[in-house]
């Protein structure tokens, strides 16, 4: 059985002009087809980018031509080839189809939702989950079912029971399962190897697609062996999103999607009708980084930079253990940027911010933002990515005082 596309995705027709772009590049072709501006009128002569690692990248000649002109909706051809190599370098397997360049992986969340979800379709998410994903999905459906997370990520045993119950009742199966497998935002959990294999088997058995959103793949804080991707175990049922925002710069706005060819095609048709393509400039910069630095060295340099996050994580965990009430529960994250704190039931994190922030100026994100149904109000997400150690220490002191005030409000 093939993946079921949404009704709007099935209605979409390709752009006749965009479809000509690959043909225009054939040697010897004289093209009167594209309404391309003449490069002689462009404002840019060259662009030089100095990397913190010592290399200097210059976009000129063909590189500059690719950076300043329209390109294929799926991305610069040379970059897409490099992305396929990068994907295989990191995951050990080639992507199921050529990757599609995204304007950040957030665009991928919206595109996947657009091409797979119809009104009333059910989406399975972990609880807690990333609010940006919920925002994208809610553009198309309001029906969510939450599966709890524990220290090993999504409870796939509960997911299996839910899917089997749908089958036994003769009900329609969910249209999508969504999760962040590494350094989950906000819980910080990483899906165990056993649950990855179980989830891949469930996707194949029940024929339900999985959206594997993995922006924190390289943000490992303890140097543990990288776990296999879910996509590598069920490539025909998994759409995967990868991002360079957390490892190079969020301002680049570069991510990529990989998955079954029919889904990639449907996402391309949406993009043809909306943004045409992601920025050629930032694509050309990423291509130059790959070519100048190489996959192995780039991965190594990203790994060394994780010392910053490891230091901050350790400082926040130590301060939380020392300063927060013993009733506050948390698990030190092995990846990502976040510490998820569970206060006693009945405490209201949003009220703490609203009533105590003026006197105790420290901000965490109330847990309700990460719930599909208004739960988790006794939880908070604390990010350690930007704070220095002195700020972490003082911030935890203020948070402890906030929690004490909330305890007193409980009566």
99 shares its domain with 209: yes
pLDDT at 62: 86
196 shares its domain with 322: no
Whether residue 393 lies inside any domain: the answer is yes
Whether residue 16 lies inside any domain: the answer is no
74 shares its domain with 182: yes
161 shares its domain with 92: yes
315 shares its domain with 278: no
pLDDT at 175: 97
288 shares its domain with 311: no
The number of domains in the chain is 2
Cis peptide before 165 (omega within 30 of 0): no
At which of 260, 293, 326 does a domain end? Answer: 293
94 shares its domain with 149: yes
Whether residue 1 lies inside any domain: the answer is no
180 shares its domain with 278: yes
**Between the CA of residue 306 and those of 42, 54, 177, 343, what are the distances in Å?**
39, 19, 30, 29
**Parts of the chain with a pLDDT under 70:** 1, 16-21, 24, 30-34
264 shares its domain with 313: no
Give the whole-angstrom CA distance, residue 385 versus residue 312: 7
Give the whole-angstrom CA distance, residue 19 versus residue 74: 11
141 shares its domain with 248: yes
**Between the CA of residue 269 and those of 14, 87, 136, 292, what are the distances in Å?**
6, 23, 18, 32
Whether residue 369 lies inside any domain: the answer is yes
At which of 262, 293, 324 does a domain end? Answer: 293
- The per-residue pLDDT for range 390-409, each reduced to its tens digit, is 999 999 999 999 999 999 99
116 shares its domain with 208: yes
Q: Which residues contact 52 (CB under 8 A, 6 or more apart)?
A: none
- The per-residue pLDDT for range 200-258, each reduced to its tens digit, is 999 999 999 999 999 999 999 988 789 999 999 999 999 999 999 999 999 999 999 99
209 shares its domain with 255: yes
Q: What is the CATH number of the domain that holds 404?
A: 3.90.1150.10
Domain hosting residue 318, numbered range: 307-409
């Amino acid at each position: 059985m093939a993946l079921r596309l949404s009704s709007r995705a099935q209605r979409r027709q390709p752009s006749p002009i965009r479809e000509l772009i690959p043909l225009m590049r054939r040697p010897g072709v004289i093209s009167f087809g594209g309404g391309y501006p003449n490069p002689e009128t462009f404002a840019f002569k060259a662009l030089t980018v100095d990397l913190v690692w010592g290399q200097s990248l210059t976009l000129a000649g063909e590189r500059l031509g690719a950076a300043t002109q329209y390109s294929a909706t799926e991305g610069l051809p040379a970059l897409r080839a490099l992305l396929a190599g990068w994907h295989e370098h990191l995951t050990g397997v080639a992507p199921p189809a050529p990757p599609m360049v995204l304007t950040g992986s957030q665009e991928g969340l919206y595109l996947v939702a657009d091409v797979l979800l119809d009104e009333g379709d059910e989406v399975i998410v972990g609880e807690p989950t990333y609010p940006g994903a919920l925002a994208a999905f809610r553009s198309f459906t309001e029906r969510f079912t939450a599966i709890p997370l524990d220290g090993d990520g999504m409870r796939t045993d509960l997911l299996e029971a839910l899917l089997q119950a749908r089958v036994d009742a003769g009900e329609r199966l969910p249209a999508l399962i969504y999760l962040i497998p590494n350094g989950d935002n906000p819980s910080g959990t990483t899906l165990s190897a056993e649950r990855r294999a179980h989830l891949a088997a469930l996707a194949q058995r029940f024929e339900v697609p999985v959206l594997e959103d993995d922006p924190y793949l390289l943000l490992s804080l303890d140097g543990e062996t990288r776990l296999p991707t879910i996509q590598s175990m069920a490539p025909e049922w998994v759409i995967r999103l990868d991002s360079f925002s957390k490892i190079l710069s969020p301002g680049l706005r570069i991510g990529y999607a990989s998955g079954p060819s029919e889904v990639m095609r449907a996402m391309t048709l949406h993009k043809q009708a909306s943004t045409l393509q992601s920025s050629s400039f930032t694509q050309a910069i990423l291509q130059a980084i790959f070519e100048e630095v190489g996959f192995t060295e780039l991965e190594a340099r990203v790994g060394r930079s994780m010392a910053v996050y490891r230091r901050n994580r350790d400082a926040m965990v130590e301060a939380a253990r020392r300063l927060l009430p013993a009733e506050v529960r948390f698990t030190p994250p092995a990846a990502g940027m976040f510490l998820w704190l569970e206060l006693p039931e009945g405490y209201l994190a949003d009220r703490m911010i609203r009533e105590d922030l003026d006197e105790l100026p420290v901000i965490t994100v109330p847990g309700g933002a990460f719930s599909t149904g208004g739960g988790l109000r006794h939880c908070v997400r604390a990010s350690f990515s930007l704070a220095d150690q002195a700020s972490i220490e003082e911030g935890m002191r203020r948070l402890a005082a906030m929690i004490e005030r909330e305890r007193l409000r409980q009566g």
